[in-house]
Amino acid sequence: MDGKNVSPAVVITGASDGIGKSMAIAFAKRGARLGLIARRRELLEALVPELTKLGSPEVRIAVLDVTDFAAQRAALDGFEREFNGISHLVLNAGISGRATPTADGWDDIRKCLELNVFAALNAAEWMKPRMVARKSGTIAGVSSVAAIRGLPDSGAYSTSKAAISTYLESLRVDLAPFGVKVVTIAPGYIETGLTARNHGSMPFLMKSEEAGRIFAEAVLAGRKFTVAPWQYAWLIRILRILPNAVYDRIAARFMRRIRGK
């Protein structure tokens, strides 16, 4: 990108609602130019005037399914040219997934991995050499606290988030010598359409707007790892060190209960 005073050019996948929309709003308030990717045209088009009013000098949209890997790369190429370089790529598109011991969950697992992992890596790998060539930029990915341990009934989701977390960690080390930053975002329970489907208790549930602000600030600052709500940072530390036998007992009781079992 030319000029030090040019506002950031932020591209967000899964930007039409939930955390993606909340991050777009937070970036707009900070004067960022925005490229928004999502499947639902009506939601994206309705968001454009709102973001412009909040302070974004330029908002562009691309309507597509990110699991159409060629279409996603074409959209990124368009934003790259229109913005004279994407400064921040936020890989947010994702779905949750459930599994039960008595059902064949392969179709759900495949869909979860295609969206949460392969679509994110497709975009990141396209973006990586371009930022390296400029010796600047940030790639951020939305993982989850569910990446830390395998949660009950969530094998596909936990697997997908563990995969994206590990990938981002490797990418962070690889790109650091080239001046490119990599940010891992780990939400706990955030008030979105996905959590609205949960019927169990959701400890420390956070408003999407507040989470979007925290995550947008982390992306702009280039923080390596950020968690919200903050209480989950402690939960992550505890889960990492629990012996398997202890974790299994806790998971079988507590984790299933908060999911409404």
1 is a domain residue = no
pLDDT of residue 162: 95
Q: What is the pLDDT of residue 155?
A: 83
**Residue 160 half-sphere exposure toward CB, CA atoms < 13 A:** 27
- Is residue 81, in this structure, part of any structural domain at all? yes
Q: Which residues are known catalytic residues?
A: 157
- Specify if 94 maps to a domain: yes
Report pLDDT for 255.
55
Structure pTM?
Answer: 0.89
pLDDT, position 165: 96
163 in a domain, yes or no? Answer: yes
Q: Is the pLDDT of residue 217 over 60?
A: yes
Tens of pLDDT, residue by residue over 2-44, are 445 689 999 999 999 999 999 999 999 999 999 999 999 999 9
Give the DSSP letter string of 211-261: HHHHHHHHHHHT-SEEEESTHHHHHHHHHHHS-HHHHHHHIIIIIHHHTT-
Assigned token pair, 15:
């930007």
Alpha carbon distance 112, 135 (integer Å): 33
Identify the domain containing residue 101 by its residue range: 9-258
Pairing of β 190-191 and β 33-38? unpaired
Q: How much is the pLDDT for 244? A: 85
Query: Residue 124 belongs to a domain with what CATH number?
Result: 3.40.50.720
172 falls within a domain: yes
In a domain, 2, yes or no: no
Phi, psi dihedrals of residue 226, rounded to the nearest 5°: -140, 140
For the chain, the domain total comes to 1
The answer to whether position 3 is within a domain reads no
- Give the Cα separation of 1 and 14 in Å (integer): 24
Each residue of 52-86: pLDDT tens digit?
A: 999 999 999 999 999 999 999 999 999 999 999 99
Q: How many CA atoms lie within 13 A of 154 on its CB side?
A: 24
